[in-house]
Amino acid sequence: MSRSRSTLVISLLLLVAMLITSACTAAVPAGPSAADMERAQTLNIAVSRPFADPTLFNIYAPGFDRSRTGLGAMVHEYLFYLNMETGEFVPWLAESYEYNDDYTEITVNLRDGVMWSDGEAFTADDIVFTYEMLRNNPALTWANESNKAVANVEKIDDLTAKFILTEPNPRQHLVRETFPAVGVWSGITIVPEHIWRDVEDPVTFKFDPPIGTGPYLLESATESAFSYTRRDDWWGTEVFGVTPAPAKVNFMHVGPETSVALSLSANEIDSPAIGILSPGAFMSVKERNPNIKAWTEEAPYAWYDPCPRALLFQMGKPPMDDPLVRKGISSLIDRDQIVALAYEGATVVSDNVWPEYSGLQPYKDAIADVIAASAVTYNPEAAEQYFTEAGYAKDADGFWAKDGERLAPLLMTNGDTPEAMKVTAVIVDQLETGGVAVEFQPLGGAVVDAAILAGEYDLYGPQAFCPGTIYENMELFHGKFFVPLGEPAPWYERNSFRYANPEYDAAVDAMLVALGENADEATLIDIYRQAMEVWYNDLPVTPLNQAPALVPFNYTYWDGWPSAENPWMMPVNWWATMNLLLTGYESVETGEWVPGIRAAGQ
């Protein structure tokens, strides 16, 4: 072979090799980008509004947003968690509790090995300090509640604390405002003594950076997002042998409902908070993205939150101090229309302030006749009778008036919440149609929170009534929580409406005694009926509807979400129990670890 031909052959062989190499290279798909890999390890939660103060991390500061910031689930932890789906009271920072014989003391045994995120040990000193701080600073959130219920907390040793109560209460461990356990939403939060003991004013303290025992650290905070990163040194990894799956969690405001729907469809978020997506928007998202699923496969798709909605009457001043006026207004509210228009059929009407859970049905059945004779259903003819008996008559324009003044109540609502704005829009229209000249006032942020507690409204709604258990919701209306107008009430649904009736109080007190004596259900139901006969006659608030939690989950990046088919946990990202949604927990019943959510495909 000549040199020139040989060179040609070699050149052709090299060319073929280059083409083959090029083809093989082109055939190898590009690996996931850094952005894709980060997204696959990130959990994104959409919240309903921007954050008013992204420099405030003090969970006790008045007006602090526990729900949307995620701080209570990511950074903070609690002694116990109640799994309302399974009924388990899950030990966490504590291992056990025990009452004394007369229910005036609770001794709590803490878990060994719990550490604050700065490396300090979590001990009984932190619990003692927290309650002393609440006692000395009544302006802190839940301080008044705590001080009324807990006289003192004593340290027995580093891992044992004794709660000394102001009065016997066999249900103390379930009261979120006075005990460090989470049943519904949140609870008393223990703070690190070694940091807070040097704070001059706990009310204005920013707590930046926030130190907690939880599995995440706050990485950054802006008006649009609170971002958390997973701790490699979380105590639970050593004690429980688990690590939460998401490396990063963002609570982020992406805009109104339409923006949230688009972001969910595009896999940019993994779940929205309660009250953002309507059923119509959810169905639109579901059509675009088959990985989006809700609690149920069929309508109404929602999980029923244990906090039914009600309209509050301010009984501390006229005219809402008149039960006839309250009943007249209640009779003008068409709850079926609220469900149809404001909730698009995603819930059901309610004639009481307890959730529609099967375990509570015997109590509801026992007062069916009381409810039927009450003013909690739409009845315009009855409304006319109530207003007339109260001394009102319709003026020339068809509005109810008395002594020359129209019945013109101030209806306040939380203007930051889409659910509240939709519901109150329907109520305003209904009341005005019925002859009540409503003055509508939407407020937001800390302003509306302070106004509710101070009682600066005639009507307020929709208000959630939690936690949804029989005694605890009965107690919300007890006169012991009454404070004069202008002074802050203990909590929104805990008598911000200024109700006091000794006859009702006596029934509530009798219920607590019966619970302490482990009375049978028939006895409890009888006491409940006595209380409700008084309650419906007074009507301190009027029920509206059950609370739907239409909270879709995105299965693109994360799997293992709870559902009606697998109800291992409540589907809530705005409660402090979201901690367990990520980490899982040890079942009280089986002793086995119930895993949290996991990366898709694992």
Instruction: Give all domains of the chain, ordered by start, each with its CATH number.
Output: 304-548 (3.10.105.10)
The pair of structure tokens assigned to 246 is 């998401």
The answer for 41, left when phi > 0, alpha when psi is -120 to 50, beta otherwise, is: alpha
Residue 32 has what pLDDT?
A: 62
In 3D space, the residue among 355, 365, 352, 332 whose CA is nearest the CA of residue 477 turns out to be 352
Give the residue carrying structure tokens 């280059």. Answer: 18
Cα dihedral: 480, 483, 488, 491 (round 10): 30
The residue type found at 223 is E
Residue 27 has what pLDDT?
A: 40
In 3D space, the residue among 107, 544, 91 whose CA is nearest the CA of residue 313 turns out to be 544
In 3D space, the residue among 42, 32, 189, 172 whose CA is nearest the CA of residue 104 turns out to be 172
Residue 25 has what pLDDT?
A: 36
Task: Flag whether pLDDT at 20 surpasses 80.
Answer: no
Strands 216-221 and 541-549: unpaired
The pair of structure tokens assigned to 344 is 């698009």
Considering only residues 401 and 469, tell me which one the structure prediction assigns the higher pLDDT: 401
Task: Flag whether pLDDT at 23 surpasses 90.
Answer: no
Separation between Cα atoms, residue 467 and residue 559, nearest integer Å: 28
Residue 71 has what pLDDT?
A: 97
Give the residue carrying structure tokens 């002393």. Answer: 132
Considering only residues 511 and 30, tell me which one the structure prediction assigns the higher pLDDT: 511
**Mean pLDDT value across the chain:** 92
Separation between Cα atoms, residue 553 and residue 563, nearest integer Å: 9
What angle in degrees, to the nearest 10, is found between the helix axes of 502-516 and 521-538? Answer: 160
Give the residue carrying structure tokens 């059923």. Answer: 279
Task: Flag whether pLDDT at 24 surpasses 60.
Answer: no
Residue 19 has what pLDDT?
A: 32
Query: In percent, how much of the chain has pLDDT > 90?
Result: 85
Task: Flag whether pLDDT at 252 surpasses 80.
Answer: yes
Model pLDDT for residues 520-537, shown as the tens digit of each residue: 999 999 999 999 999 999
Model pLDDT for residues 300-320, shown as the tens digit of each residue: 899 988 999 999 999 999 999
Region 241-266 average pLDDT = 97
Q: For the chain, what is the largest distance between any 2 Cα atoms, rounded to a whole number of angstroms?
A: 122
Region 354-370 average pLDDT = 93
Phi, psi of 533 (to 5 degrees): -60, -40
Q: What is the pTM assigned to this prediction?
A: 0.84
| Predicted confidence band of residue 31 (pLDDT cuts 50, 70, 90) | low
Residues 454, 486: contact at Cβ < 8 Å?
A: yes
Model pLDDT for residues 107-133, shown as the tens digit of each residue: 999 999 999 999 999 999 999 999 999
In 3D space, the residue among 35, 72, 47 whose CA is nearest the CA of residue 557 turns out to be 35
Separation between Cα atoms, residue 411 and residue 404, nearest integer Å: 21
Separation between Cα atoms, residue 204 and residue 454, nearest integer Å: 20
